[in-house]
Amino acid sequence: MRLIPNRAWAATLLFTAFALLPLIAVWLDDIYLIVIATRILAYAIAALALDLILGYGGMVSFGHAAYLGIGAYSVAILSRAGITDLGLHLLAAICAAAVFALVTGAISLRTRGIYFIMITLAFAQMAYFFFVSLSAYGGDDGVTLAARSTVFGQPLLESDTALYYTGLALLVGLYLLAVAITRSRFGRVLTGTRENPVRMQAIGFSPFRYQLTAFVISGCMASVAGVMLANQTSFVSPAFMDWHRSGELVVMVVFGGIGNLLGAIAGATIALLLEEWLAILTEHWQILFGLILVLVVLYSRDGLTGFFRRRL
């Protein structure tokens, strides 16, 4: 008998653990835990967004970090213009990401396999070098934010705990949205296009339209993570959208299990915690991290969440 009978219980346990973390940090007198956890929440949103198209649409995007940068620079640009409201920052980030995803997705989705991977990487690098060229915002050095986003004109997010719970609320909301999408008719068609696009087209569906819509939704979700990261670090630079960052997102999804939305969140959590812990052990922590990733890929094709699920 499984200790965790279904995904709803697993999600409840995971989000409850996230909700209790600030209390644990206060109890341990280690506020830095909240800073780490806020970063984890931001990357969990980005990994969730990537898994929506990778796990359910079969689209291996190697340029999803571009949307992190778009979200982050939306905060920086609007803040410089005197617009500091979080709601407006999120709206601007989502709109900018939607336009970028619509244009690049319409082109990228005309390719398949390795060509799709490379063209998404190329578009992300174009976005990277575009923001490098913005000398008004620090160019390659980036720009420091004067303050975090405000909520209804109040600097509520200056508190690390308030920022953390805002990130948690966004993660829970986007997770529920992703679950609703995958369980809907749209999600079933998207999964069908991953399995056999020719057959889906033969029965009257347009794989391109469904994949492009999912690609845009995913980009918009990832931009929310960029807004969170900008507020967490109070700093924005083109490094947010470097191709290494896109690779990290893919690794997080693989860790948690491709095609498992909750696994994407768990994968981001595990990957970033491993990064923190291994860095304490040795300066060559990347070697150990790589070995763990190899073992996960070899012995658990559905990630660490699948590994634990089979043993519960």
Q: Reduce the secondary structure of 59-125 to three states and give it as a string.
A: CCCCCCHHHHHHHHHHHHHHHHCCCCEHHHHHHHHHHHHHHHHHHHHHHHCCCCCHHHHHHHHHHHH
- 88-130 pLDDT, tens digit each: 999 999 999 999 999 999 999 998 888 999 999 999 999 999 9
| pLDDT for the residue numbered 309 | 63
Domain ranges of the chain: 23-242
User: How confident is the prediction for the chain on average, in pLDDT?
Assistant: 88
The token pair that represents 199 in the structure block: 């057959």
pLDDT of res. 2:
43
pLDDT at 4 over 60: no
Residues 6+ apart with CB under 8 A from 20: none
Q: Where are the alpha helices (DSSP H) in the chain?
A: 7-28, 32-57, 65-80, 86-108, 114-132, 160-183, 185-195, 197-202, 207-233, 243-256, 261-281, 285-299, 303-310
**Cα–Cα distance for residue pair 180/98, rounded to 1 Å:** 20
For the stretch 13-32, pLDDT in tens is 889 999 998 888 888 878 88
Percent of the chain with pLDDT over 90: 50
> Mean of the pLDDT values across residues 269-278?
89
Residue 273 has pLDDT above 60, yes or no: yes
Give the model's pLDDT for residue 304. Answer: 72
Q: What is the rounded average pLDDT of the residues 184-212?
A: 87
38-50: average pLDDT: 95
- pLDDT over 70 (residue 312): no
Q: How sure is the predictor about 308, in pLDDT bands with cuts at 50, 70 and 90?
A: low
Angle (CA) 142-143-144 rounded to 5° is 135
pTM (two decimals): 0.92
Written as one letter, the residue type at 85 is: D
pLDDT tens sequence across 137-160: 888 888 999 889 999 888 888 988
Q: 151: closest CA among 55, 227, 220, 221?
A: 227
